[in-house]
Amino acid sequence: MTEALNTFRVRKHALQTGGQLTLRPSLIIVIQGAGITYTERKRLEAGEACFVKKSGERFIVQEGHCLLYQVEVELTPFPIFRQPTNELEECLERMQGCPETMTGSLRQHRYLYQLLEQLSERRHEQTFEEVTLEWLKELGKSRTVSDLASELNMSLPTFSRQFKKHYDQSPKELLHQLRMQRAKEWMIAHPDWTIAEIAERVSINDEFYFSRLFKKREGLSPSQYRKRLIPRVGIWSQALLQDHLLALGIQPVIAPSFPTQYRSNGVPDYLSEIEGTRLYDASATILPEWFETSNLDLVLRTPIRGELPPMLTSCPVIDISKQTCWKDYLYAVATATDMLEQATDIINEVETFESVVKQQFEFNRNVTWAVIWIRDSEIRLYGRTGHTMLDFLFNEIGLRAVEGLPHTVYMTISLETLQQLDPDGLFILWSQPADVERIRGTKEWKTLRAVRTGRIFHPDSVDWDPWGPLGRMHMLRQLHTYISDSNCFVCP
């Protein structure tokens, strides 16, 4: 009888930003945090669920700590709606705790049907969300906040409290934010539109009021923002050359992103100034027409998988060969945009801060170090070179590498191999806390010299990529703070 009921498993997963989970056909429910399904591009927030139809689909965490459940049962999809997380979690915990007996299976299926009934229920909050999302999508063009409150049969104070609870911003604050985001997108996409036309398109009829709002949020006027778009540059690359362009004060019109690696917009947080730029998924096929139709003055292009992309006819193209140093990339971009003087100033600023961080490592150069990345299914041991981060630690900082590191960029190892190397110190980089926590309790981990002496370096380094000036300064600032607060890096 148990087999006839098609028994299923309920899995609970805790992931951090950037963490990924490979899924089977199932129902997934997010209790905390937010993420996106890679193939179907469906974003899920706390209280939301979706049906996964195919094996191999991935769920990628986009914001902070994410807690989700995976109910491994194949169901015919039907409309489901956001629900209170405490009610969902209570039902899922009961389902997960059922014993593997006939009675337990019957009880588990009863909880499953309760869960499905709950998810199918269209609640008041759902109506609230539909109304407000429609209003935000049209940028408040046809209705006021009072109109929305009346439409939902709510008083204005009650509506405002509900809105703040749901979106973590007041209606006015969020509407202004979305209007300025859309304005930047249109300023980039349509250089021939006047400021007055753009203001009207974001439902602001007063050009001067629009300019005041824009400057208050962005720190510069619309006309000053447009100067950042001269020349109009596109980036055809699998490298984040926007790091170098933004450092030079130029915002690209179109640039690469990696949605599976970074948060919602596919670029690291330290590149937040990229807002408004058209971002494409650089891990997929890059189409020439994206550049041909963007009214560009210049395209910066690097080889894709070792080969140069096809030529463009609408604008000049400057090909940048693969470089071995972040400074060389910066000089190449600066040469193409006639900004060599600014590039020299940027390099001087970065090198000044680098010298500060190097001094903090002074008492740790005489011990041996290894760099590892603890992933969900493997441990990667890195060599001395082949990655900008490794060059920085072992060559520029001058840390002493433990004997036995790979001659390649990295190799996959076991904890037993790490035991044999037994470095004095360990850099745990790019690793999710949940993955690190998984191996901390093992016998092999506890016997490592670095663990016993407390010389473990585990900063929040998920987005560290110091091969561009902005990414390098971001890494250096976090390094400086981490070392200042860590007992591992003080004079013994």
**pLDDT tens by residue, 313-346:** 788 999 999 888 899 999 999 999 999 999 999 9
Q: What is the dihedral of CA 336, 337, 339, 343, to 10 degrees?
A: -60
28 in Cβ contact with 59 (< 8 Å): yes
Given pLDDT bands bounded at 50, 70 and 90, which one contains residue 68?
Answer: very high
| 233-236 sheet: strands from edge to edge | 278-281, 254-257, 233-236, 298-301, 317-319
72-86, 138-152, 242-256 — most confident range: 242-256
- Residue range 79-108: mean pLDDT, rounded: 88
For the chain, percent of residues with pLDDT exceeding 70: 95
Which of 111-115, 301-305, 482-486 has the least mean pLDDT? Answer: 482-486
Q: How many CA atoms lie within 13 A of 348 on its CB side?
A: 6
d(CA 473, CA 479): 10
250 in Cβ contact with 300 (< 8 Å): no
* Residue 152: predicted pLDDT: 86
- Residue range 24-32: mean pLDDT, rounded: 92
277 in Cβ contact with 214 (< 8 Å): no
Structure tokens at 262: 């970074």
CA distances from 135 to 140, 145, 169 (A): 5, 9, 15
* Pairs from 166-169 (Cβ < 8 Å, separation ≥ 24): 166/125, 166/128, 166/129, 166/132, 167/132
* Residue 264: predicted pLDDT: 60
Q: Where are the alpha helices (DSSP H) in 265-382?
A: 288-292, 326-336, 340-360
Q: Is the pLDDT of residue 124 over 80?
A: no
Q: Which fold has domain 233-338?
A: Rossmann fold (3.40.50)
Given pLDDT bands bounded at 50, 70 and 90, which one contains residue 103?
Answer: confident
Q: Pinpoint the residues of the chain covered by CATH 2.60.120.280.
A: 3-119
* Residue 64: predicted pLDDT: 67
d(CA 492, CA 487): 9
- Give the tens place of pLDDT for each residue, 434-446: 788 889 889 999 9
* Residue 465: predicted pLDDT: 87
Which of 35-39, 88-92, 214-218, 447-451 has the least mean pLDDT? Answer: 35-39
Pick the CATH number of 349-489 from 3.40.50.1980, 3.40.50.300, 3.40.1190.10, 1.10.3720.10: 3.40.50.1980
Q: Which fold has domain 3-119?
A: Jelly Rolls (2.60.120)
Residues 6 or more apart in contact with residue 318 via CB below 8 angstroms:
298, 299, 300, 301, 336
pTM > 0.85? no
Please name the CATH architecture into which domain 126-227 falls: Orthogonal Bundle (1.10)
* Residue 1: predicted pLDDT: 40
- Residue range 59-77: mean pLDDT, rounded: 85
Question: Cα(first)–Cα(last) distance of the chain, in Å?
Answer: 66
* Residue 131: predicted pLDDT: 86
Q: Pinpoint the residues of the chain covered by CATH 1.10.10.60.
A: 126-227
Q: Pinpoint the residues of the chain covered by CATH 3.40.50.1980.
A: 233-338, 349-489
* Residue 491: predicted pLDDT: 41
Strands 410-413 and 379-382: antiparallel
* Residue 488: predicted pLDDT: 54
Residues 6 or more apart in contact with residue 153 via CB below 8 angstroms:
none
272 in Cβ contact with 463 (< 8 Å): no
